[in-house]
Every structure is written in C-alpha cells, then in structure tokens.
Chain A
Amino acid sequence: MNAPSDIIKVLASTPDATMGYRAYTLGSFNFRRDEYFAHITWTTRDGRPLSHTLDIGNFLRALMRDVAWGFFYGWVNFDNVIGTVNHYQSVDLYAGSYNGTMKAAGVDLLENFPTDQIRATFEQMLDDWTNETFDPFSAPQETGTAYGRKNGNNNAKITRARELATRCVGLKGDLDLRTDARGAPVNRAFADVPQDMPELHPEPGFENEVHAFNLFAFLSRSQVTWNPSFTSVVKYSFMCPTTEEHILPIIHGNDRVEWFFQMCDEIHWDCADKNTGKPLARVIMKAGDMAAMPAYCRHQGYSPKRSMLLVWENGSPTLVHEILKGETPEVPVQF
C-alpha cells in the first residue's frame, strides 16, 4: 500500500526572500528555481560539485508528466542529463548517467528512492514552482508564461486525474465520454472533426454490450497534450491515444517495445540509444503511418500542429523482467 504523500518527509527550504520559491533536496540532489531556470546540483562520483540548468517551462512540463504518469514505463529523461527510471516500487533519479559523455567523464550520479518519497518531493516542487499563469500540460499557445517570480499556484491544472478506461470509454461504469458539459470543448485545431456518434441498435438487455464511441471526437476534446489516456483494453493491451502539439516534453526511454500509430497530421521523431543518447534514427510519421519503438531506444517527438497519436502499450507487469532476462527480445518482430 502506498503511503499518503503528505506524510512523507519532503526536504524543502523556506521560500526564497526574492524569488519566492522553495528549494528542494532529494538524496544528494538539490533543486532550485529562479525566474527563468531550474537549477540542479549534485556531487559527482569522484567528489566534485556539478550543476545543470533547464529552462523552467521545459522542466515543469517534464516534471508534470513524470508526476502524472507515476514515472511511466522506463526512463523519463527531462533532457539529455536529468531524468528518472521507474522500477515500479522504487525510482532512480539521475544526472548524466545515461549521457555517454558525462558517464565516461565520471561526473554522473544516480540514486534510488522509494516511489512515495520521490513522488512526494516532485509533487510539492511542481505545486510550488507552477505559477497561476502556467499550465504545464497545455500546448505553448494555450497557456501563459512559466517565467517570473512566485505568483500563486495552479493546483487544478497540475492535479488532473489521468483518464484510464478499464474496458472501453463510454461503457456504463467506465471512463466517461468527453463533452462540453464535462469541461471538454473541442480543441481549436480539431474544429473539423465530426462529432457524430455511431449508430447503436441494441436488442433489449444488450445496451451495454452493443457499444461503440467516436474515438476521434473523444480525442478532439482533449484539453492536454502529450498525455495518453486508456480508451480500450484487451488483457494487458492498452490503447493509449493522445493529442500532441509542439514538443514531447520528455525524452522517453523504453523499458519495453511500444508502438505509435499516427492517426492524423504528422510527428517527427528523434530516436537514440537509451543508455548513451547516441542518435539512432529520425522517423517522420504521417497520417496512417505505424512505427515501433524498440526497448533499447529513447525518443522525442515534434508535432508541428495538434495531431492524434495512438500510443499502443503492453502493460504486462512481467514484461520488463522478461526483457532483462533475455526471455523476450527488445524488438517486436524478427523477419
């Protein structure tokens, strides 16, 4: 059972007298923000002080995903230096450990934390560092600035519940459809997406089995970007469609194969070795394209306009261990 995050000890400073933000300590890592940047400092394995700086908007967008996704599948690289690895009961926090140059230079650091501890720290940091003007889940054109001194908070936007169907969207007792009334109007980029519903003609007694819904309409009403939902489930096969705009705020490192099916418009992907960051491939996906991301890669996508991406995941809890033991290959098929 997870302990409530509010009883986990989070090491936070008093608010900075000028900037108004708290600084945080997690193990040997220190985090602070100013008007433009997040600053992370640590002591390298050979005892030298080192620091890393990220644009605060980019940092908060990445932090938002890491928190909301429960550290996700595998690696959540905030950039090519900082990130987390999910071990599903604990989480690694690292600096430079998956950067070939920093690793070779011995200036990296990786520490492991109980999931509850790092989650509580990240949640409080996200809450304190996100001003009322900024929504880290929104596309850049749909939110205000992340910059500046402490200016309120945006609790409602950083605590959205992840939308996870257990069987299928729209079934009785399952994840609801998105509607105007539920605060999900059609996004400006999808004004041309038909909102009609499938024709359903159930015989009496089969109303919850003869079921279909308009997936494209559902996606057109997404209020966030780069945030997969579960819309249909077959055993551990999860359809995780999402709407994408601008840049995926993290570089996702796979601990399993995942597939992308581009349902409209296009996304450009940079793929690299997940351990070193060495570039592997550039993938341009247009509507109707399908691509596999092997378990040995990391990837970051660029969506020039809002697009619909079907992320397809195998959520089997044994899959990671099967790959680590060599029982399951890192690639989806061999031919």
Chain B
Amino acid sequence: MKKVVFGQNQIYVLETLRAEGDSPWYTCAHDEFALSMDGDVEIHLIQLDVSQTVKDENKNGAVLVQGQPHGAKMGWMKIKRGHQALLPKNTAYQFKSAQPAVLILQTCKGDLSVEKWADICQTA
C-alpha cells in the first residue's frame, strides 16, 4: 500500500492510500488520522511495547513495525465512507479491507511518504 502525498505544508502532509487486503503494521511517534473517502476499512490497534516504538519522539511520519507487533490489544474499529479514525501515537495499527477502499491520512511527511507531484498535479 503506497502512501501518496497529495497535500503538503512544510512538514505536514495529507496522504492517500488504496486500502485492499491487509496492510503492514505501521507505527508513528505522533498522532495520525485516517478518513475513509470510499469503502469500509477495519483498523486494528496494539499498544506497542516500548522496544518497538519509534525511538526519536520528534520523528515525523509513520514507519513500519519491525516484525510482528508486541503489546496489549487495544481493540479495533470499522470505518465507512465519511468516517474518521484516530491513530494514536506509539500504537501499532493495521488496515484491513475486503474490497478496495480509499483512505486519507493526516500526518507528517516521513520515510514511507511517496511524492509524485508531476504525475498527479494539474498546473497552468
């Protein structure tokens, strides 16, 4: 699943993500938010063991959890079109979607952010 940047303002980005099947487990040193613009998506949360959290508390953007996430299960939620979910900082989160869905992520630009401005922008 590619996290494609479609809005940027300094360190901050809006990313869009095609959610289909099971995503990798992600984690982030700051809160993020996921908004479904199309389709149903489950979001599973684990309170990540400190050993697996992002070491730099100021690091921007999501990273992949190394290996399987360890920690207490926090629960899960299912969002539909127009629903927005909190992805709390220092948790591991995974998206699951049986059918293709479109998510918008409010986050900061990080290691996994993909930029393809020339491909997606209409300019004068």
Which A residues lie at the B interface, using CB under 8 A?
167-168, 171, 193-194, 196-203, 206, 209-217, 231-237, 239, 256-259, 261, 263, 281, 288, 290, 292, 312-314, 316, 319, 328, 332-333, 335
Q: Are A200 and B75 in contact (CB under 8 A)?
A: yes
- Could you say which residues of chain B place their CB within 8 Å of the CB of A196? 80
Q: List 23 A-B contacts (CB under 8 A).
A: A194-B82, A199-B77, A201-B77, A203-B73, A206-B75, A209-B74, A210-B75, A210-B76, A212-B43, A212-B79, A213-B84, A214-B82, A215-B83, A215-B84, A216-B81, A216-B82, A234-B30, A235-B12, A290-B7, A314-B12, A316-B10, A332-B9, A335-B121
Which B residues lie at the A interface, using CB under 8 A?
6-12, 14, 30-33, 35, 37, 43, 45, 47, 72-86, 88, 91, 104, 106-108, 115, 117-118, 121, 124
Q: Are B80 and A259 in contact (CB under 8 A)?
A: no
- Could you say which residues of chain B place their CB within 8 Å of the CB of A202? 74-75
Partner of A328, one of B6, B10, B79, B86: B10
Q: Are B117 and A257 in contact (CB under 8 A)?
A: no
Nearest CB in chain B: distance from A319 CB, A: 7
Nearest CB in chain A: distance from B9 CB, A: 4
Q: Are B7 and A206 in contact (CB under 8 A)?
A: no
Nearest CB in chain A: distance from B17 CB, A: 15
Q: Are B30 and A212 in contact (CB under 8 A)?
A: no
Q: A261-B14, A281-B124, A332-B8 are in contact. Are A199 and B78 (CB under 8 A)?
A: yes
Q: Are A237 and B9 in contact (CB under 8 A)?
A: yes
Known: A209-B45, A234-B106. 20 other contacts (CB 8 A): A167-B31, A167-B86, A194-B80, A198-B78, A201-B76, A203-B73, A206-B45, A206-B47, A206-B75, A209-B74, A216-B81, A216-B82, A216-B83, A231-B84, A234-B108, A235-B108, A259-B14, A312-B14, A316-B10, A319-B10
Bound CA–CA A212/B47 (angstroms)? 17
Q: Are A200 and B77 in contact (CB under 8 A)?
A: yes
Q: A168-B33, A199-B77, A312-B14 are in contact. Are A211 and B85 (CB under 8 A)?
A: yes
Q: Are B8 and A210 in contact (CB under 8 A)?
A: no
Q: A217-B82, A314-B12, A332-B9 are in contact. Are A239 and B106 (CB under 8 A)?
A: yes
Q: Are B7 and A210 in contact (CB under 8 A)?
A: no
Q: Are B37 and A288 in contact (CB under 8 A)?
A: yes
Bound CA–CA A210/B76 (angstroms)? 7
Q: Are B7 and A312 in contact (CB under 8 A)?
A: yes
Q: Are B78 and A261 in contact (CB under 8 A)?
A: no
- Could you say which residues of chain B place their CB within 8 Å of the CB of A261? 7, 14, 104
- Could you say which residues of chain A place their CB within 8 Å of the CB of B79? 198, 212
Bound CA–CA A312/B12 (angstroms)? 10
Bound CA–CA A212/B83 (angstroms)? 7
Bound CA–CA A316/B82 (angstroms)? 27
The CB with the most chain B CB atoms within 10 A, among A197, A203, A233, is that of A203
Partner of A212, one of B12, B73, B84, B106: B84
- Could you say which residues of chain B place their CB within 8 Å of the CB of A316? 10
Nearest CB in chain A: distance from B35 CB, A: 6
- Could you say which residues of chain A place their CB within 8 Å of the CB of B9? 237, 256-259, 312-314, 332
- Could you say which residues of chain A place their CB within 8 Å of the CB of B108? 234-235, 237
Bound CA–CA A209/B124 (angstroms)? 44
Nearest CB in chain B: distance from A169 CB, A: 8
- Could you say which residues of chain B place their CB within 8 Å of the CB of A231? 84
Bound CA–CA A242/B81 (angstroms)? 17
Determine the residue in chain A with the shortest Cβ distance to B82: A216
Bound CA–CA A235/B104 (angstroms)? 17
- Could you say which residues of chain B place their CB within 8 Å of the CB of A332? 7-9
Determine the residue in chain B with the shortest Cβ distance to A233: B31
- Could you say which residues of chain B place their CB within 8 Å of the CB of A234? 12, 30-33, 106-108
- Could you say which residues of chain B place their CB within 8 Å of the CB of A215? 35, 82-84
Bound CA–CA A232/B84 (angstroms)? 9
Nearest CB in chain B: distance from A316 CB, A: 7
Q: Are B75 and A290 in contact (CB under 8 A)?
A: no
- Could you say which residues of chain B place their CB within 8 Å of the CB of A239? 33, 106
Nearest CB in chain B: distance from A191 CB, A: 15
Partner of B12, one of A200, A213, A237, A335: A237
